[in-house]
Structure 1
Amino acid sequence: MVYNDTDDSVDHQLCQDFGLVLSIFSLVYLIVCFPVGLCYNALLVVVNLSNKVSMTMPDVYFVNIAIAGLVLNIVAPVELLGPNFTKWPVWEYNNEIYITLLILFNISSLVIMYSTTLLSLDYYIERALPRTYMSSVYNTKHVCGFIWGGAVLTSFSSLLFYVCNHVSTKIIECSKMQNKEAADAIMMFIGYVVPAVAVFYAFMLILRIRKESTPLDQDSGRLDPSIHRLLLASVCVQFVLWTPYYMTLLVHTLTGVQGNYSDKPWVTTYYFLRCLSELLAFSSSFAMPLMYKQMNKNFSHKLQRLLKRLHCGDQGCAHERSVVQQVVTSSTQQALPPSPCPGFTGVLSVLPLGFGHG
């Protein structure tokens, strides 16, 4: 609408070109990345939650990131098919829907960034102090609960700025808070600067640990080396995909682009880059589950066990029952003392588990 008075200008042509490129990228994401990301995020959550006993510390964090990715998958089609991303919008939405989408996006971004940060710190703890249970599954579950609560509370402060930016100036309290740059500054500092500093510190400690290899590195209780590569790669990929978005928030905070159209090409380029950076941020919900599937050797085995269980139903598969029976029988025979009557031991070995142990 800014360029309605200059339809034949070069600025308008630049705006049209950027809009066409953004529309193509959005449609490609919705056709290819969105269904794959939705499917794999749901699989990651279901497979791990159905195998809670075998979950490790990294699994809990990746489940947490996958849930945040599902929230992004809910926001993505509404946002990408709206007027901000495509020249052929499917729907228009009002300020209330826009604020709701923005808050859900912010909560997901905070959960993803802080889960990634704490994953790197717990990775260092696991490398430096194995078997201390500081980075155990039990502790990680409680930490993830605090992450979601903290993300909601942090987004509430930004919510006040966003809401007051769209309401009447007659409300005295909101008239002093109609500043979207302040909301972006809060998200920039809490959502990116703090996690980036923590991840940088954790990486320095991890590199120091790797240079000083100890006999603990051969400890059988430590995480599999493939998990180490997965943790480092996931942290790097998350920051690569989210950094452009937070950089646009920083630019908006420092320059106050909102409402300033004195330099039209610059404003057009800024909003194009901002939308492109949001598209990259959405793609993190597509990249992370694929990396988890490729680099975590246990995921495919857990998925196969889950599919077999679903296929066999509540009664369990015959193969699994035979394996369990063999394990129970062997453990019962090992627990029994030597008997002077060989046949008596054979009789006890087929008795029920509780009677045999008694």
Structure 2
Amino acid sequence: MWSCGPLNGTAGAEDQPLCQQFHLALSVLSLLYLLLGVPVGLAYNALLVLVNLCDQGGMTMPDVYFVNMAVAGVVLSALAPVHLLGPTTSGWALWGFSSEAHVTLLVLSNVSALVTTYSTALLSLDCYIERALPRTHMSSAYNTRHVCGFVWGGALLTSFSSLLFYICSHVAARATECSQMQHTEAADAIMVLIGYVVPALAALYALVLLSRIWKEDTPLDRDAGRLDPSAHRLLVATVCTQFGLWMPHYLTLLGHTLLAFRGRPVDGRPLGVLLFSKDLSRLLAFSSSCVTPLLYRYISRTFPGRLRRLVKKMHCGRQSCSPDQAGVQQVMA
């Protein structure tokens, strides 16, 4: 799937076996993700959305953000085979498509990536607000739903730069304003700044603030309205996972942008290393779509109970379950 073609003629013979081993390992990992990670990501993300939407009254502020990330995860999981096996890979592609389809898929993946990172950053900020001001309504589930709507709108506006560069590549001969917008490196630089640096700094700032009051024990900690302690562990795991898996992808975009702006030709050995890093970072980025719902499944204390209630409700069907059976199950729980 991935070859050492870009290195031919530039690397020594002693580098070829090592290159082939790296690309073979990357091919195996990519195929494993496509065979296992994509179905798991689609199934668990869809299950996360279904359970929360069927129990909207029991949704808390973190649940709304995780539903938002699950919807973006479904899109990323669906686009993973196209990006990992399509013409954007460094090796041979199993299929090809027009430039219009390529830009459309690129915009969809950028929007989903932005929604994922910004939802993670806003989740950490709202968790700090809930911790510092437990009785405020600023971090309620009702307000969070509206915030998630703004996140999707902002992601669409930010991804508009990709469409703008594509349009200018076709009308540059007739519009002088597009003469400086014929390179995708500028769009990559915008994505690095807005898509990763800004939300990463916001999440880091929120974690620093949370660390200062994490061990403070106040009477408000015993309020029933406060978040479950497992939500804090889930927050840390989600922030570290999301930004850790997306960091190589944005670092690769940043490296390609810097090389292009400095006027260095990207060929030979640098091209092979860059293409290999790009493929590996893309694989790590797409794998985040299946890791996050698994974290939510095994760390959240409320999700297993709501999942059992949903299964019980679906099992009963149109016939309502008897009150005695429901009461016995509540006592068993």
Name the TM-score, length of structure 1 as normaliser. Answer: 0.82
The offset of 1:289, in angstroms, is 0.3
Per the alignment, residue 179 of structure 2 pairs with 175
Q: Deviations over 1:17-46 (max 9, x none)?
A: 554443322211101111111100000000
Deviation string, structure 1 residues 119-146 (Cα, Å, up to 9, x no partner): 0000001101012111001000000000
Tell me which residue corresponds to 1:164. 168
Find the partner of 2:274 among 249, 270, 273.
Answer: 270
1:273-352 paired onto structure 2 within 5 Å = 273-319=277-323, 323=327
Distance 2:246 2:4 in 1: 29
* Range with bigger deviation, 219-228 or 42-51: 219-228
Residue of structure 1 equivalent to 2:70: 66
SS of residue paired to 2:214: helix
* Match of residue 84 from structure 2: 80
Shift of 1:308: 1.4
Query: Measured at CA, do residues 114 and 315 of structure 1 come closer, stay the same or move farther in structure 2, by a change above 3 Å?
Result: same
Larger radius of gyration between Structure 1 and Structure 2: 1
Match of 2:331?
Answer: none
**Cα deviation, residue 303, structure 1:** 1.2
Identity fraction in percent: 57
C-alpha distance after superposition, 1:220-252 (max 9, x if no partner): 221111111111211111111111111111112
Aligned length: 323
Match of 2:106 in 1: 102
SS of equivalent residue, structure 1 residue 256: helix
**What is the root-mean-square deviation of aligned Cα atoms in Å?**
2.7
Change (3 A) 1:55 1:254: same
* AA partner of residue 175 (structure 1): S
Deviation at 1:163, TM superposition (A): 4.3
Alignment-derived partner of residue 41 in structure 2 = 37
Q: Could you tell me how far apart the structure 2 residues matched to 1:56 and 1:312 are?
A: 26
Structure 1 unaligned spans of 5+? 325-358
Query: Which amino acid in structure 1 is aligned with residue 112 of structure 2?
Result: S
CA contact (8 A) 1:23 1:85 kept: no
State the Cα distance separating 1:7 from its structure 2 match: 6.7
Q: State the TM-score, normalized to the length of structure 2.
A: 0.88
- In structure 2, runs of 5+ residues without a counterpart are 329-333
Q: Which moved more, 1:295-304 or 1:136-145?
A: 295-304
Q: Does 1:144 align with 2:148?
A: yes
Q: Is the 8 A contact 2:87 2:96 kept in 1?
A: yes
Higher relative contact order (CA 8 A, sep 6+): 2
